[in-house]
Structure 1
Amino acid sequence: MVYHDDESDADTAGRLTQRLIDEDGVDFLLGPYSSGLTTGTSAIAEASDVLMVEGSGASDALFERGFQNLFLVATIASDYTRSGIEALAARGARTAVVAHEDTLFATAVAQGAVRHLKANGIEVLAVEAYPEGIQDVSAIMTKFRDLDPDVFIGGGHYNDAVLFVSSATEVGFEPGGMLITVGPSNPRLAEELGRDVDGVLGPTQWEPSMAYQGPYFGSAADYSAYYQSLWGEAPVYQAASATAAALALHLAIEAAGSTDTGAVRAALRALSADTFYGPISFDERGVNVSKPMGTIQVQDGEIVVVAPDAAATSSLQYPYGEGG
C-alpha cells in the first residue's frame, strides 16, 4: 500500500492523487477524508479510469455526476439525520431549526434533515447557513433561542459541534433535543466540553456496540478490540469507515479474481456482504444502500446508541433528563 499525507488540503490531495496514479502506479485508490477532498480526487480517478472506494466523502452531490469509478461504503449525507429525526418525532418533537456550514457535505446533510423533518411532521422554523471556518455562531443561536424550537439540528464538522454546544450554553438556548452531525460520537467532545454535551445527539456511521459482524474482523466489538491492540485507542467511526472501504475493495478483487479495472468494478456492483461495519451493497450511483445510519446520545458522559431500534443499546432521552 502506498499513501501520502494530503494535509486536508484540496490542492495537495489532487496533486497527490495524480502522483499515486502516474508515478506510484497504483491499481486502485482509497479515498481521502471529507466530501471536499473527495470531489476533486474522484474526478481525477474517473478521468484516469481508476477505481476509488471510500468511506468519508458522503455528500450527495458526489454521486450526481454519473461517475462509474466512485464507491461509498458509508451512509450518504442526506440520510445522516434520518434515524435521529424519526426517533425524536416519535417522542413528540414538533418544531425544529437547522444551522449548517455552507459546504457540500453540511448542505447535503441539512437538506436531507429538512426533508426528513417535514416527512415526520416536524415544522421547520428556520434554516441558517454560515461560511466555512466561522468562529462565532452566537447570533444564530440567539435567533434560534427566541424561536423556542423543540429540536436544533447542526450540520458541519467537529469544530462546528464545539461552537454549537458552547454558544447554546452561553446564550441560554435549551431545546429539548440537539442533533449535531459530526462530533457527538467522538469521546473527545465530552472531554472538551464536559456536562454541556450531555443529551446531545449525533449521527454515527458505526459504533463498537452495534450488532454487525462478518467473516473478516468478526463483530464490531472484535474490530474495536483489534484496532485498540494496534493503536492504543478506541476507533471512531471514521476509522471503521476507512477499514470498510479497504475491505469492500478486497472482497471485490477476490470475487473478480483479477485486478482488471472492469472486472473489479463489476464485482463491486454485484457485491453483497455482511461486515463488522454493517451490510455493504452498492446502487447504480456507487452508494451503499444497505446500511442505515445510527444515532447516538451522550448520556451522563457515555456515548450510547439510541436509534434505529435494531441497533439501539439505550433509550433516547427526550427532552434530555426526562428518561426513556
Structure 2
Amino acid sequence: FADTLGPDASEHVLTPVQWHPATKFADPYFGTATDYSERYNRAYGLIPSYVSAGASAAGYSLTMAIQDAFRRCTFPEQGVDADSLLFTAGLLQCEQVVGERGTGYERVMRSLVKQQINTFFGEIALNSFRRNVALSPITAQIQSGVLQATLPIEVANKALVMPKPPPKDEDSGAEKIGTLHKDAFITVVVVVVGSFLILCLAVLLTLGRSRQQSRMLERMLVISPDDLLIINHPVRLCDGSYECGKAMHRNTLVALEPLTE
C-alpha cells in the first residue's frame, strides 16, 4: 500500500492490524513481540506476518490448555498414544473435581473455554464458538515510511501523530497575508464575494417575483370594460336604488353594480 501511494501520500496514513512486531505484548515462552520477531527472522530469514504470529500464539494457547487439563491427572500406563489420551474414557486417573469428568478431549475443551492468558500476540480468551474475544486490533500509522503501532497506548511503540502536519516546504516558503497563507486568503475572499453575489441575486429574484405576483393580482381584480360582454346595463329604480346589470366576462356571468350615481 505504501509503495503504491509513494512516501509522501502514504505518510501518516492509519490502518488497523491484527498484530505488530513492535508492540509490548509478551508471554513467558516467546517473550515480547520483538523477541518473537527476531527469533523468527533468524530461523526463517523473514519478518513474521500476523498469520505466523497468530499460529504460534494458537499453539501456545493449546499447550497451556493441555497442561491445565491434565494438571491433576496421572497416567496408569506407559506409552499411551494421543488418540487414547484424548478419546478413551476412564484411562486417566484424576482428582475428583466437580464438572471435570470425561475424556481428555473434553477436559482440554473445558480448559480452553475458561482460558484467559496474555501472549506476545495479545490477550487470548475464547468464547463458546472458539473465537478470541479478548484480542483488540492495533491501530498502526506510517511514520517516516515505517509502519508503527500507535494505539492502544499501553502497547504502542510510537505516539500517534494527529492531525497530519503540513509539508515542510509548504509551511516555510508559503506567502502569507495576515495570519493566512495566500491560497487560504484567496479562498476566503472568493467564498465571501460569492456568498454576497448569491445573496444579491436572491434578493433580486424575490423582488421580481413579488412584482410579477402583484401584476397578476391586479389583472385578476381590475376588469377592463373591453373584456365585458354587456347583456343589460344597471337600471335606476323609482326609489333611487339601482338594479344590477348583467354581463359576461370570460364565459362567466357577472353582475354590474354602479359604485356612484
TM bucket normalised to smaller: 0.3 to 0.5
Q: Which has the larger radius of gyration?
A: 2
Q: TM-score, normalised by structure 1?
A: 0.39
